[in-house]
Every structure is written in C-alpha cells, then in structure tokens.
C-alpha cells in the first residue's frame, strides 16, 4: 500500500502483489476526527479483486497505521448487513459489530440495515508491523 494525504484524510492505494508486478486494485481511506482521536474507515476494491484476502490484509495494515502511527483510539465503519463477506473480512481484521442503523441502506434493490463496526486501539494486537 502507498499512502497519500488529502486534506485531513489519509488515503492508501491497495495493490495485488500476486503477479509479476504490483497491480493497483483499490483504495482505503481514513477520515479522521482529530478532536476525539477517531476515524471513519472506507475501503473500495475492484470486484475482480474481492475474495482473495486483500481487503482483510489492507484493513489490518490501516488499523495498525491508525493506531500505532497516527495515535487514533477508535476506528469505525458502516457496512450493509447482507454483505456477509465484508463483515467477515472486517471481523478478521479486528473490527466488531456494535450496532445498526435500521433500514438505512439498499442491497440488491431491497431495504436493509447498515451495521456499525468499530476497532479500539486498546484491543488491537501489537507489536506494529509498520512501526517495527
């Protein structure tokens, strides 16, 4: 991953390293609120790159960066409840479900809930692979 600063936002490009050359396959963004040391997490991966573990790996690295480099205390996200593959990837990376926004989204044309998930610095395992 490579990092870019966009205003207060922190953006990373996600690369697939499985081939002969790195291929960019997505973007991850942290939207920080420095006054309370939290950030919203957003990831977008190309459809053909999903299901390969890239989302989980990128999410772990961004949590590591957020907690160990930028000193955030909590990172949160929203995900559509029927997107079970994304929910599993977020849980593997260190997020946990903490609530929902009822009927806040659409999945395949049907109304659905959005799950709210968070990860806490105090619960994130170390040592950091980035700071090492």
- Residue 81 has φ and ψ, to the nearest 5°, of -55, -40
Give the pLDDT confidence of 44-96 residue by residue, as tens digits. 998 888 888 889 999 999 999 999 999 999 999 999 999 999 999 999 999 99
* pLDDT for the residue 125: 77
DSSP state of 66: I
Radius of gyration of the chain (CA): 15
Give the pLDDT confidence of 5-27 residue by residue, as tens digits. 556 899 999 999 988 999 999 99
Residue 90 annotated to the active site: yes
pTM for the structure as a whole = 0.88
* Domain map (residue ranges) of the chain: 2-123
Domain 2-123 grouped into CATH 3.40.630.30: yes
Annotated catalytic residue within 15, 41, 65, 90: 90
């Amino acid at each position: 991953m490579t990092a870019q600063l966009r205003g207060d936002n922190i953006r990373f490009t996600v690369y697939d390293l499985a081939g002969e050359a790195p291929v960019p396959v997505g973007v991850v963004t942290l939207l920080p609120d420095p006054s309370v040391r939290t950030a919203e997490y957003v990831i977008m991966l190309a459809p053909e790159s999903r299901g390969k573990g890239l989302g989980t790996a990128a999410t772990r690295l961004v949590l590591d960066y957020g907690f160990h480099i930028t000193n955030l205390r909590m990172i949160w996200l929203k995900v559509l409840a029927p997107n079970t593959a994304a929910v599993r990837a977020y849980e593997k990376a260190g997020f946990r479900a903490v609530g929902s926004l009822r009927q806040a989204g659409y999945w395949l044309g049907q109304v659905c809930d959005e799950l709210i998930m968070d990860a806490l610095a105090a619960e994130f395992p170390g040592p950091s692979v980035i700071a090492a």
